[in-house]
Amino acid sequence: MTDKAKYIIDYLDEILKDARCALNYSKDYELVIAVMLSAQVTDNAVNKVSDVLFKRYPTLESLSQASYDDVCSIIKSLGLYKNKAQNVILIAQDILNNFDGKVPSSKKDLMSLRGVGNKTANVVRCELFSLPEFPVDTHINRISKRLNIAKENDDINTVEAKLKKVFPRDHYIKLHHQLIHFGRTICKSLSPKCNECKLQKYCKYYKDNYLK
């Protein structure tokens, strides 16, 4: 592990030791659906609608038979709600019909669920099965590029591969949660709190905006 990687790990452990998944769920399949719903919206927005959704349809069976129009009305505040409403029902059907009602652990099986891509599959593998994946959301993507771990034009898959190369495997899951919270609270897209951050010496954004 490089000095830079160790410094980042130590700093995030100092300020975000207990960072964890911010999505609310009580059943495995609820997490799959919540992560799918979180695309391009905040976790808080998802938690508000998922609370209503999972109370209205409390079982995988009831969710698989849910009214599309009703699901749309429940999650209408979310972006892309029409596609997401369809995916809610299809995911429930897929898990019931193809996996005996149990969320699968393999990435291939998870990505066979409608609306589930690489990032969602990775989050589920981390959260439900403690498998060492490093899901990259908009915050992690931004921070990785500001800290010169990835290049500005790298796509999400490239960023993920570079993060896995820089950091030890046993830190992937914890760092995933820490970096998300770091991006929400300090390394924001607009008006980041650079004066509060101890990663200035590694940060391209800080050097470009404060040292010129």
For residue range 79-120, list pLDDT tens digits in order: 999 999 999 999 999 999 999 999 999 999 999 999 999 999
The per-residue pLDDT for 212 is 64
- List residues with catalytic annotation: 119, 137
Instruction: List the CATH number of the domain containing 63.
Output: 1.10.340.30
Q: Which residue range(s) make up the domain with 47? A: 28-129
- SS3 category, 54: helix
Rounded CA separation 53/71 (Å): 7
Task: Show which of 76, 98, 129 is a domain's final residue.
Answer: 129
Instruction: Tell me the C-alpha to C-alpha distance, in Å, between residue 4 and each of 122, 149, 167.
Output: 25, 10, 10
* CB proximity list for 59: less than 8 A, separation 6 or greater: none
Task: Show which of 129, 152, 172 is a domain's final residue.
Answer: 129
The per-residue pLDDT for 211 is 79
- Residue 23 within a domain: no
> Per the structure block, which two tokens stand in for 64?
């698989």
Q: Report how many domains make up the chain.
A: 2
pTM of the model: 0.93
Spatial contact of 116 and 91, defined as CB atoms under 8 Å apart: yes
Q: For the chain, which residues score pLDDT lower than 70?
A: 212
121 and 140 share one domain: no
Please calculate the CA angle 74-33-67 and round it to the nearest 5 degrees.
Answer: 40
149 and 203 share one domain: yes
